C-alpha cells in the first residue's frame, strides 16, 4: 500500500486525520478568509480513499460506467418481446379427418399492423385462411385472402374464430409429429415447427 500526501498550505497544521492508511495531518486553518484543506490519497489494490475535494474526480470517473448501464437497459427494453412478433402455441389439431385445422396466436408487438398473407407447407397440397362468421343464427366458415394483426395487438387462431385450414396431406399425419410450416406476414416469411397434437 502506498499513501500520497499533498498539501496546498505548507504551514504548520494543528489537526490529524484518520483513514484506512493511518493517521495523517489535516490542515484546517483560516487564512485570509479561505479554508485550506489537505488532500490525501490512500491507494491500495482494494480501495481508494479521497478527501472531499477528490469526490468530483470519482464522479467523473464513474460517469461513463453509468452511461453504459443506462444504454444497456434501453437496449434491453427495445429488444424485449413486447416490441417483436411472436407466435404462441401454434399447433395442428389431430383428427382422423382429411382436413385439419391449425390454431394458436400471433402477437404483433411492433408499431405497424401486419398482414397474414399466406401459409405453406410441403406436407399439404392446399392451405387456406378461414374466418368464422354468423349469418341468420348460423355459423359458417369463409375463406379469406388475408388476415390483419393490428399494431400492439394479437389475433387468436381458434375454432369459431379466424384459423388456418390444411387440405390434402401428401402423407398421413401422425399425432405428436412436427411439421414445418412457412407463414408470410407483410412480405416477410417466418419458418415454424408446428406440433400435431390432439385437442385437450
Domain range annotation of the chain: 2-78, 83-197
Q: Report pLDDT for 39.
A: 41
* pLDDT score at 200: 52
Question: Architecture of domain 83-197 in CATH?
Answer: Sandwich (2.60)
d(CA 15, CA 35): 14
Q: State the pTM of this model.
A: 0.59
- Quote the distance between the C-alpha of residue 69 and its chain's center: 15
Could you say which residues of the chain have pLDDT below 70?
Answer: 1-83, 199-200
Query: Residue 82 gets which letter from DSSP?
Result: G
pLDDT attached to residue 77 = 47
The closest of 108, 118, 200, 133 to 166, measured between CA atoms, is: 118
Q: Could you tell me if 180 and 122 are in contact, meaning their C-beta atoms sit under 8 angstroms apart?
A: yes
pLDDT tens by residue, 40-84 = 344 444 444 444 445 455 455 555 565 566 555 555 444 444 569
Strand partners, 42: 3, 49
Distances (CA, A) of 200 to 91, 93, 94, 197: 12, 10, 11, 9
Amino acid at each position: 500500500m502506498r499513501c500520497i500526501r499533498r498539501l496546498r498550505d505548507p504551514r504548520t497544521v494543528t489537526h490529524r486525520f484518520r483513514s484506512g492508511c493511518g493517521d495523517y495531518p489535516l490542515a484546517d486553518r483560516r487564512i485570509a478568509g479561505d479554508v485550506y484543506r489537505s488532500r490525501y490519497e490512500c491507494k491500495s489494490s482494494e480501495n481508494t480513499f479521497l478527501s472531499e475535494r477528490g469526490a468530483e474526480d470519482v464522479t467523473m470517473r464513474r460517469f461513463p460506467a453509468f452511461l453504459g448501464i443506462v444504454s444497456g437497459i434501453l437496449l434491453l427494453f427495445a429488444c424485449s418481446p413486447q416490441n417483436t412478433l411472436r407466435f404462441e402455441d401454434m399447433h395442428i389439431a389431430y383428427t382422423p379427418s382429411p382436413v385439419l385445422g391449425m390454431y394458436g396466436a400471433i402477437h404483433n408487438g411492433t408499431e405497424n399492423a401486419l398482414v397474414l398473407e399466406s401459409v405453406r407447407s410441403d406436407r399439404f397440397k392446399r392451405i387456406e385462411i378461414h374466418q368464422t362468421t354468423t349469418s341468420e343464427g348460423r355459423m359458417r366458415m369463409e375463406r379469406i385472402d388475408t388476415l390483419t394483426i393490428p399494431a400492439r395487438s394479437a389475433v387468436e387462431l381458434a375454432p369459431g374464430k379466424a384459423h388456418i385450414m390444411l387440405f390434402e396431406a401428401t402423407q398421413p399425419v401422425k399425432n405428436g409429429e412436427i411439421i414445418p410450416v412457412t407463414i408470410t406476414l407483410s412480405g416477410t416469411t417466418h419458418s415454424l415447427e408446428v406440433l400435431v397434437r390432439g385437442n385437450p
